[in-house]
Amino acid sequence: STLFDSVLRPTIIAAARSERIKQASQRWSTTEKVVRRFVPGESLDDVLTAIRRELDDGLAVTIDFLGEDTVDESHADATVAAYVALLQAMPRLAPVPPGSLEVSLKLTALGQRLPEHGAKIAEENARTIAEAARSAGASVTVDAEDHSTVDERLAVVRSLRRDFPDVGTVLQAYLRRTEDDCAEFAESGARIRLCKGAYAEPPSVAYPDRGQVDEAYLRCLRILMKGNGYPMVASHDPTMIEAASILAKEFDRAPDTWEHQMLYGIRSDEQRRLAAAGARVRVYIPYGTEWYGYFVRRLAEKPANLGFFLRALAG
Ligand code: FAD
């Protein structure tokens, strides 16, 4: 695991930047089979079918229309249109328990990296999506990307929350700054998804070892559980899952004041087990054609996934 973290994980993430590898992967049909474990489909109908299945099993959902790092304004507009179409289709799922529907979005898919006024354009686009979400009875969470985007993202979220108080965001425990961010957002009553963090980051900004990240996660979780907000405990790690219940008890939190979150295709049985035991559980479901970056991060999280993928390619 140490070798994996220090050598393979950064290599996989770096290799992912190669256009040649990207194009080859997108052609291979074996890749598709492995991708399907994590991404239920490319179309709106595919994702509606997947949502239905999760809702029927007593789970809530958050939907990500895949895409990131857009440097083209019309591409950002197309992403907004896809979210609006998804949100307008959500009434077809009715009736659903309150709070079941959410969308997750990435500001870099909405234009944050455009050379001029990127953050402003991304905020306007997020606002359009937040309005469509409000009409659909859904909430919005702004995903966390690499560390260079955090300050702008948090500024956008603070601004959006003035008009849409239930817009939430993600804080990544591996970043050294995150305890302070947790304190701020817990105080302001925000919906905060706490995750470990999935990008390759330098030790100047992020804890380099897994043990340190786990300890930081637990410190952050305590701050969020103690605070006034709505903690969203995004982890598949049994230690974090158990700690969440213990801290919720310690701070007298009712089951509807926080939730577990896991990714589509990862520990699905555990998702169902927790929901059956009375916890709120939300599944993050990505869909669309731009699955590449998302897929590579899932491979980089677990050596066994990479092995599985390479065996599938060889076979
Ligand atoms: P780990 O210690 O990595 O994993 C614990 C156990 O979970 C593993 O032993 C394994 O059994 C299982 N597991 C974990 N990952 C995988 C996998 N890929 N394949 C198979 N099994 C696996 N990161 C961001 O940087 N920004 C975000 O906005 C963001 N949003 C997220 C939203 C949700 C709902 C979730 C669950 C995660 C999100 N992440 C995000 C990813 C997160 O940062 C971690 O990279 C990821 O969740 C793995 O960490 P873990 O806490 O599950 O623990």
pLDDT given for residue 33 in this prediction: 79
Whole-complex ipTM: 0.98
What 3-state class would DSSP assign to 230? Answer: strand
197 φψ region: left (φ > 0), alpha (ψ -120 to 50), beta (else): left
pLDDT over 70 for what percent of the chain?
94
pLDDT, tens only, 153-197: 999 999 999 999 999 999 999 999 999 999 999 999 999 999 999
pLDDT at 314: 63
Q: Specify which residues 215 forms β-bridges with.
A: none
Average pLDDT over residues 39-68: 96
Which pairs from 302-310 meet CB under 8 Å and 24+ separation?
A: 303/1, 303/4, 303/8, 306/8, 306/12, 308/34, 309/31, 309/34
Catalytic status, residue 143: yes
Residue 100 DSSP label: -
Of all protein residues, whose CA lies closest to atom 43 belonging to ligand 1?
A: 197
17 labelled catalytic: no
- Ligand 1 pocket check for 262: Cβ under 6 Å: yes
Task: State the pLDDT at residue 275.
Answer: 98
Closest atom of ligand 1 to CA, residue 170: 28
Total number of residues shown for the chain: 315
Cβ of 232 below 6 Å from ligand 1: no
pTM, to two decimals: 0.93
- Which of these is catalytic: 64, 113, 143, 298? 143
Q: Is the CB of 170 under 6 A from ligand 1?
A: yes
Cα-to-centroid distance, 200 and ligand 1 (Å)? 14
Distance 136 CA to ligand 1 centre (A): 28
Give me the residues paired with residue 282 across strands: 60, 261
In whole angstroms, give the CA distance from residue 272 to residue 268.
6
Look up residue 230 and give its two tokens.
């709505």
Alpha-carbon 307 to chain mean position: 24
Tokens 């109908």 correspond to what residue?
Answer: 45
**pLDDT for position 24:** 66
The CATH fold assigned to 40-290 is TIM Barrel (3.20.20)
- Determine the Cα–Cα distance for residues 96 and 138; give it in Å rounded to an integer: 11
221-239 per-position pLDDT tens digit:
999 999 999 999 999 999 9
- Annotated domain spans of the chain: 40-290
Whether omega for the bond prior to residue 115 falls within 30 degrees of 0, making it cis, is no
Taking only the tens place, the pLDDT of each residue in 4-45 is 777 777 777 777 777 777 766 666 566 777 889 999 999 999
Q: Which residue's CA is minimally distant from atom 3 of ligand 1?
A: 301
∠ CA 46-50-56, nearest 5°, is 145
pLDDT category at 302 given cuts 50, 70, 90 is: confident
Separation of 104 CA from ligand 1 center, angstroms? 15
Q: How far is the CA of 235 from the centre of ligand 1 (A)?
A: 6
